[in-house]
């Protein structure tokens, strides 16, 4: 939460740490750094861990419908969504001076082969993946217009700019600047159509995936870490009512990292 001037109230910070030894040791070292408050009283959250744990925290806040600004300190591997951990000194000042980045997750509705609807949000991407050795066959529509009648391959994913450097990049999808207001639609090991390498869509788009021959060629859908099997149809769009705020040190903001990642060789 912020005050009328958009500033974080650093007198009400909560501290969360991943269950790794490294993160717990760091949490113990920061215990006397400031007067930490419980999460339900906090104006912002300092998160110790890696990208995966930060995503877990964001999902928990989405589930509880109380989304606070998050300032991550990297004690994981990649730390793309995190800031550099520098210990206790000046931590509250760093949070106060951090640059806010607003991001919106994807809202997914998956209908399984029994007709049951499942709902979830994805901060990085929604991925459809074949469940067996059989190639998945998927029809892709954008805003109710069929664009790919039948994609044959291992699957397909729809990624946000935040997620464009994660699974999407590994699948040879494009890196999207944070302020691009675009989504990356990327096939996973496509066989047909052979020359289609994906698309970049406005983030106002609504994308629908329909599974062809679902009984013979079962497909699962994964919204970040949440998985639903044997789906028949999946609808995905931006959840603008679920906006989240990530906090980054000046000069180390996520938009700069996204640009820099495109020049890594």
Nearest-angstrom CA–CA distance, 71 and 200 = 29
Are the C-beta atoms of residues 49 and 20 closer than 8 Å to each other?
yes
Pair of tokens at residue 147 = 């664009």
List 3, 25, 51, 255, catalytic entry: 51
Are the C-beta atoms of residues 163 and 188 closer than 8 Å to each other?
no
Q: Helix count (H) and strand count (E) of the chain? A: 5, 16
What one-character-per-residue DSSP string does 148-165 give? EEEEEEEEEEEE-TGGGG
Task: Based on the residue annotation, tell me whether 21 is a catalytic residue of this protein.
Answer: no
Count, residues in the chain? 265
Nearest-angstrom CA–CA distance, 155 and 113 = 17
Please give the helix or strand (H or E) that residue 57 lies within, else none.
Answer: helix 51-64
Catalytic site residues?
51
């Amino acid at each position: 939460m912020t005050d009328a001037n958009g500033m974080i109230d650093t007198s009400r910070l909560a501290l969360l740490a991943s269950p790794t030894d490294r993160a717990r040791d760091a949490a113990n070292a920061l215990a006397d750094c400031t007067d930490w408050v419980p999460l339900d009283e906090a104006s912002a959250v300092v998160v110790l861990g890696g990208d995966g744990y930060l995503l877990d925290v964001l999902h928990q806040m989405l589930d509880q419908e109380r989304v606070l600004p998050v300032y991550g300190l990297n004690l994981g591997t990649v730390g793309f969504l995190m800031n550099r951990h520098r210990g206790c000194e000046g931590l509250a000042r760093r949070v106060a001076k951090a640059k806010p980045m607003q991001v919106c997750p994807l809202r997914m509705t998956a209908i399984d082969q029994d007709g049951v609807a499942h709902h979830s949000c994805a901060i990085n991407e929604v991925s459809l993946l074949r469940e067996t050795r059989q190639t998945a066959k998927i029809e892709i529509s954008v805003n109710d217009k069929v664009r790919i009648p039948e994609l044959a391959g291992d699957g397909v994913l729809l990624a946000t700019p935040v997620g464009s450097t994660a699974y999407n990049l590994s699948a040879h999808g494009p890196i999207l600047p944070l302020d691009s207001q675009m989504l990356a639609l990327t096939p996973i090991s496509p066989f047909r159509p052979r020359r289609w390498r994906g698309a970049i869509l406005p983030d106002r788009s609504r994308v629908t995936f329909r599974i062809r021959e679902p009984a013979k060629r079962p497909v699962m859908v994964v919204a970040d870490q949440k998985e639903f099997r044997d789906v028949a149809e999946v609808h995905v769009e931006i959840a603008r009512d679920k906006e989240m705020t990530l906090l980054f040190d000046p000069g180390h903001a996520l938009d700069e990292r996204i640009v820099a990642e495109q020049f890594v060789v």
